[in-house]
């Protein structure tokens, strides 16, 4: 009996039933068989020795595929655990998943791991990879699995097994003397992993709960080639130089203070960047037909019960009591936007109505999750809520996609798109969710956009499109989102008067572009390494007299620049000009304007551009005109 295997190009081949995945790959290409790490049968990722027993769609996974990377790195976490148990017998195992760009494993050990231990563990891992142990999968009954891990003293694995559904398949993987509870899949053998690097240590509560024991977490990364590891480590070093927390302090943009953990303080220079982004946001939204609103930060509990946040988001909210009633600090702006819409009666002729809001929200985050501007407890969302007729859904989604694209292109960002579907905990019927999801899918398809499906990752009230920016280091950041919502208009009894004179229910879109002003500033700081484009730079030009003799001229020139709408300052310190220029470069000032006797005589300045160098002497009027033009065009 044969099975039909459909390949990504649409071609179909017949194979004997029970054929191993690796044999199918060999029949395509011996070269592909060498680089393959796993395979995808329909939507399931499997080991290379998995058998094909039915008709399937088939694709081989290499390290070029994100899922292939995860398989290799999850396999690496098992090697880490094996090395740790060899060097530190009696260590108990927590979990060891693949993560973005790497993996980790959590350990319960009487030994406290040190950075010096990482080198020894890494050396042992390299021995294990050279030994090329096969990853062997076994399926056990619940009784067999519990006995095995109880006998091995692995109480965390026993807890995981007991938490599985009664009908769950329980599998483990062996490599050499090591065994671990695992659903897989894995690479064929440890020799597939040619380069490993352990990166850091951290503490982590078992299963993420502060009520449980603190385990020791070891982070690492791995690659199928050493050259790829070297490139990755170089990117990590570059990322450290670009760390927005470091640059935020050095460039005097923002601070996180002990008095407000997770609540950033923006300093004067940081406020310049923030205000420029907000001004740009307002200008663009006016062009795209939005009206700006502002909703209160604190609202009554009954509102959050009506919106569903009280049931679905309560643990992330802050609360207070006013006049013996419960209130909540808003974690999202949407209920306020709906109250604004409901404040008056609307006709179908008014729709779509687009409300935009730069709304400050607060969300409870665990202290260990806080990270500069990237993960905070209060932030400003550049929200918008669009109320429309059902017939306008597709056009409005396309309109938002175009707007997002225009925003991101301005900053030089490439991006990819993901469509997230109904989560397990969601409001509304399956039918309504299917209609909403299909509308988003059709809009993306008609725009000719490639997108990835994220099953079960939608908001609790509707499916969403997420935009993931790619920065200059190749890292991705989820910023923009479009969420289609049939639920909230129902919960808030939102209506419009239709052509028939009757009340009808509008459809609603939630969307952000920056995502969070604070986080977007953090991303921009790292993307530009603190060297912001001229229109965003806190100080756009610094005038530097060569000696005190030119100080008066420098002051007058600075005043002229400021009057022309250019953020300028004069460096009048009694320092050598070389020192002033070097410091200006360190502080990422885009233009240094040097003034000496010759420049005064010619009503000119010597221009130095950050990252370019000396541009020579230019007339003052031309310099002002050039700077004004570059600021106006918002060049990145």
Alpha carbon distance 536, 245 (integer Å): 18
Indicate if 383 belongs to the active site.
Answer: yes
Residues 158 and 110 in one domain: yes
Residue 588 placed within a domain: yes
Active site residue 468: no
289, 197: one domain:
no
Torsion of CA 118, 121, 125, 128, to 10 degrees: 180
Q: Give me the catalytic one of 232, 363, 527, 588.
A: 363
Is the distance from CB of 514 to CB of 281 less than 8 angstroms?
A: yes
Assigned token pair, 430: 């399956």
Q: Which residue has the tokens 């007299």?
A: 545
Q: Has residue 288 been placed in a domain?
A: yes
The reported pLDDT for the residue numbered 197 is 97
Residues 586, 587, 593, 594: is their CA dihedral positive or negative? negative
Residue 359 within a domain? yes
Take residue 355 and report the two structure tokens written for it.
Answer: 């409300």
Of the candidates 530, 528, 432, the one whose C-alpha atom is nearest the C-alpha of residue 488 is 432
Supply the CATH number for residue 16's domain.
3.10.20.30
Confirm whether 551 is domain-assigned: yes
Catalytic option among 186, 197, 362, 510? 510
Parent domain of 551 = 541-633
Q: What is the CATH number of the domain that holds 591?
A: 3.40.50.800
Nearest to 74 by CA among 2, 155, 180, 149: 180
Q: Of 69, 381, 487, 540, which is the active-site residue? A: 381
Q: Identify whether 464 is a catalytic site residue.
A: yes
- CATH number of the CATH domain containing 393: 3.30.930.10
Statement to judge: residues 75 and 194 lie in one domain: yes
Task: Verify that 127 and 27 share a domain, yes or no.
Answer: no
Domain boundary pick from 527, 556, 582: 527
Per-residue confidence (pLDDT) for residue 488, from 0 to 100? 86
> For 368, which DSSP code?
G
Catalytic residue among 182, 334, 378, 544: 334
Considering the domain architecture, whether residues 442 and 568 belong to the same structural domain is answered as no
The answer to whether 85 and 125 are in contact (CB under 8 A) is: no
Q: Given 217, 232, 385, 542, which residue is catalytic?
A: 385
Instruction: State which residues of the chain have pLDDT below 50.
Output: none
pLDDT of residue 83: 97
Annotated catalytic residue within 47, 180, 383, 466: 383
Q: How far apart are CA 270 and CA 252, in angstroms?
A: 7
213 counts as catalytic:
no
Is the separation of the CB atoms in 43 and 24 below 8 Å? no
Active site residue 285: no
| Last residue in a domain, options 502, 527, 552 | 527
The reported pLDDT for the residue numbered 280 is 96
Q: Are 365 and 461 part of one and the same domain?
A: yes
Which CATH number characterizes residue 86's domain? 3.30.980.10
Whether the Cβ atoms of residue 107 and residue 218 lie closer than 8 Å to each other: yes
In a domain, 324, yes or no: no
In this predicted structure, what is the pLDDT of residue 81?
97
Catalytic residue among 269, 464, 567, 580: 464
The reply to whether 163 falls in a domain is yes
Based on the domain organization, do 57 and 85 belong to the same domain? no
283 and 165: one domain?
no
For residue 462, the model assigns a pLDDT of 82
Query: What's the number of domains the chain is made of?
Result: 4
Specify whether 58 is located in the same domain as 113. Answer: no
Q: Which of 14, 31, 62 delimits the end of a domain?
A: 62
Which pLDDT does position 119 carry in this prediction? 95
Nearest to 628, CA basis, from 564, 569, 568, 570: 564
The answer to whether residues 487 and 550 belong to one domain is no
**Distances in Å between the alpha carbon of 213 and those of 90, 91, 109, 405, 616?**
17, 14, 11, 46, 64
- Is the residue at 248 inside a domain? no
Say whether both 354 and 484 belong to one domain. yes
Q: Is 544 a known active-site residue?
A: no
Decide: 225 and 195 in contact? Cβ < 8 Å: yes
* Domain-embedded: residue 321: no
364 is a catalytic site residue:
no
- 90 and 153 together in one domain: yes
The DSSP secondary-structure symbol of 57 reads: E
């Amino acid at each position: 009996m044969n099975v039909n295997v459909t390949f990504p190009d649409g071609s179909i081949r017949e194979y004997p039933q029970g054929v191993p995945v690796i044999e199918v790959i060999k029949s395509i290409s011996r070269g592909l068989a060498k680089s393959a790490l796993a395979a995808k049968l329909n939507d399931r990722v499997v080991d290379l020795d998995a058998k094909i027993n039915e008709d399937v769609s088939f694709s081989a996974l290499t390290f070029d595929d994100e899922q292939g990377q995860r398989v290799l790195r999850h396999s690496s976490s098992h090697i880490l655990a094996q090395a740790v148990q060899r060097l530190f017998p009696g260590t108990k195992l927590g979990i060891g998943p693949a993560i973005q760009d790497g993996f980790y494993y959590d350990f319960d050990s009487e030994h406290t791991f040190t950075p010096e231990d990482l080198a020894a563990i890494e050396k042992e891992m390299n021995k294990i990879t050279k030994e090329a142990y096969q990853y062997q999968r076994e399926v056990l009954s619940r009784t067999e699995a519990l006995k095995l891990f109880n006998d091995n003293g692995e109480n965390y694995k026993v807890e995981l097994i007991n938490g599985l559904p009664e009908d769950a398949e329980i599998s483990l993987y062996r490599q050499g003397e090591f065994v671990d509870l695992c659903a897989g899949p894995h690479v064929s053998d440890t020799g597939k992993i040619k380069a490993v690097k352990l990166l850091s240590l951290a503490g982590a509560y078992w299963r993420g709960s502060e009520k449980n024991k603190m385990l020791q977490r070891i982070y690492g990364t791995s690659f199928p080639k050493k050259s790829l590891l070297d490139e990755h480590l170089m990117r990590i070093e570059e990322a450290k130089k670009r760390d927005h927390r470091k640059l935020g302090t050095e460039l005097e943009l923002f601070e996180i203070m002990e008095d407000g953990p997770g609540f950033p303080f923006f300093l004067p220079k940081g406020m310049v960047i923030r205000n420029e982004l907000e001004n740009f946001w307002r200008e663009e939204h006016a062009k795209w037909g939005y009206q700006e609103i502002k909703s209160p930060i604190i609202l009554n509990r009954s509102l959050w019960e009506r919106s569903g946040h009280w049931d679905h988001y309560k643990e992330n909210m802050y609360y207070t009591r006013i006049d013996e009633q419960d209130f909540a600090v808003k974690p999202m702006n949407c209920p306020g936007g709906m109250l604004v819409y409901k404040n008056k009666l609307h006709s179908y002729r008014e729709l779509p109505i687009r409300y935009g809001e730069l709304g400050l929200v607060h969300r409870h985050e665990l202290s260990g999750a806080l990270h500069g501007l990237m993960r905070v407890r209060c932030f400003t969302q550049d929200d918008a809520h669009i109320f429309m007729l059902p017939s306008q859904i597709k056009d409005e989604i396309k309109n938002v996609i175009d707007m997002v694209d225009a925003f991101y292109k301005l900053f030089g960002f490439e991006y990819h798109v993901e469509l997230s579907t109904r989560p397990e905990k969601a409001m509304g019927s399956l039918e309504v969710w299917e209609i909403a999801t299909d509308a988003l899918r059709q809009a993306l398809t008609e725009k000719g956009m490639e997108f990835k499906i994220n099953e079960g990752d939608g908001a609790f009230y509707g499916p969403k499109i997420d935009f993931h920016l790619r920065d200059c280091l190749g890292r991705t950041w989820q910023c923009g989102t479009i969420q289609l919502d049939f639920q909230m208009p129902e919960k808030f009894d939102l209506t419009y008067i239709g052509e028939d004179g009757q009340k009808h229910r509008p459809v609603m879109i939630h969307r952000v572009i920056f995502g969070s002003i604070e986080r977007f500033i953090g991303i921009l700081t790292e993307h530009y390494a603190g060297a912001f484009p001229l229109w965003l730079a806190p100080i756009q030009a610094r005038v530097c007299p060569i000696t005190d003799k030119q100080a008066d001229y420098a002051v007058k020139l600075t005043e002229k620049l400021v009057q022309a709408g250019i953020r300028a300052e004069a460096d009048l310190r009694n320092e050598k000009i070389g020192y002033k220029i070097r410091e200006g470069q360190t502080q990422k000032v885009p233009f240094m304007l040097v003034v000496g006797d010759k420049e005064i005589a010619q009503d000119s300045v010597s221009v130095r551009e950050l990252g370019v160098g000396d541009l020579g002497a230019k007339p003052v009027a031309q310099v002002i005109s050039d700077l004004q033009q570059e600021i106006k065009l918002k060049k990145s």
